[in-house]
């Protein structure tokens, strides 16, 4: 990767359809590199660890208009911190966590945008709802009126070939349609958070509205 960060950002930004939001995954990347990405036009950043993110957000307070997206596994004892720092939570992975966020959000005066994380295929390395569990929990989730439940997030298991990856992405898109057909008052999904450096082009073909890119922008993160 010999091009600069700014060149890579512009190349990728220009290649994305307008309907797709680029989230630059800045975990393990310095605040200085985030600043550079901001100068290149990025306004959405993804972080997967609360503590690391808090320190970066603090150092970047002077930059206006940033949305911070939490994309890691959220432990319930960090829920308050996550709500204080992040406008988006992509990785809400259980009814219990959703209910806790729903209780805390009004106390903190926030109304977070949420994606529910689903596992389309079994994957012991990841958390998230199975399809059936999610369908079973929808009525309870619909009662979480302090959350803006915007869509689904998924990460395919490692080791799939590209047609299997596409199947996972397509199934996630279909699941959103099935959920919306239930006409629940607080669950009208429109966001599909899927696609990382290795597979974001496939994800976009399957209807992704948000791609989460780290390595392809920031390199191997030794910045
Ligand atoms: C790290 C991470 C990404 C970015 O992955 P790359 O392969 O570096 O693009 C995207 N989503 C999640 C949930 C991640 O943890």
pLDDT in tens, 133-187: 999 999 999 999 999 999 999 999 999 999 999 999 999 999 999 999 999 999 9
Give the separation between CA 160 and CA 158, rounded to whole angstroms: 6
Return the ligand 1 atom nearest residue 71 CA: 13
Count CB atoms within 10 A of the CB of residue 6: 14
What pTM, to 2 d.p., does this model score?
Answer: 0.96
Q: Is 69 helix (H, G, I), strand (E, B) or coil?
A: strand
The residue whose CA is least distant from atom 6 of ligand 1 is 214
CATH topology for the 3-222 domain: TIM Barrel (3.20.20)
Residue whose CA lies nearest to ligand 1 atom number 14: 71
- The strand pair at 44-47 and 67-70 is best described as parallel
| Minimum-distance ligand 1 atom for the alpha carbon of 215 | 8
Is residue 23 lining ligand 1, measured as CB closer than 6 Å? no
pLDDT in tens, 181-199: 999 999 999 999 999 999 9
Tell me how far the alpha carbon of residue 214 lies from the centroid of ligand 1, in angstroms: 6
Decide whether any atom of ligand 1 lies within 6 Å of the 34 Cβ.
no
Residue 71 Cβ inside 6 Å of ligand 1? The answer reads yes
Question: Are 92 and 117 in contact, with CB atoms under 8 Å apart?
Answer: yes
Alpha carbon of 139 to ligand 1 centroid (Å): 30
pLDDT of residue 223: 46
From residue 220, how far is each of 28, 29, 107, 138, 166 by CA, in Å?
A: 9, 9, 39, 39, 25
Separation CA 212–CA 122 (nearest Å):
22
**What pLDDT was estimated at residue 2?**
58
Give the start-to-end residue ranges of the domains of the chain.
3-222
């Amino acid at each position: 990767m010999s091009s600069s960060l700014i060149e890579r950002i512009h190349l990728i930004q220009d290649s994305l359809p307008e309907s797709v939001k680029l989230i630059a995954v800045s975990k393990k990347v310095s605040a200085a590199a985030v600043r550079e990405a901001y100068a290149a036009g990025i306004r959405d950043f993804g972080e997967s660890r609360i503590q690391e993110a808090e320190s970066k957000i603090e150092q970047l307070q002077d930059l206006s208009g940033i949305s911070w997206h939490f994309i890691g596994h959220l432990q319930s004892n960090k829920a308050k911190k996550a709500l204080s720092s992040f406008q988006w939570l992509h990785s809400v992975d259980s009814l219990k966590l959703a209910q806790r966020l729903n209780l805390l959000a009004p106390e903190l005066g926030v109304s977070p945008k949420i994606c529910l994380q689903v596992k389309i295929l079994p994957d012991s390395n990841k958390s998230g709802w199975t399809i059936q569990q999610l369908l079973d929990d929808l009525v309870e989730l619909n009662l979480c009126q302090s959350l803006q439940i915007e869509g689904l997030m998924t990460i395919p298991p490692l080791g799939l070939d590209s047609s299997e990856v596409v199947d996972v992405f397509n199934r996630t898109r279909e699941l959103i349609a099935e959920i919306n057909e239930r006409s629940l008052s607080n669950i009208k999904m429109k966001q599909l958070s899927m696609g990382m450096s290795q597979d974001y082009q496939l994800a976009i073909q399957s209807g992704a509205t948000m791609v989460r890119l780290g390595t392809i922008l920031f390199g191997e993160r030794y910045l």
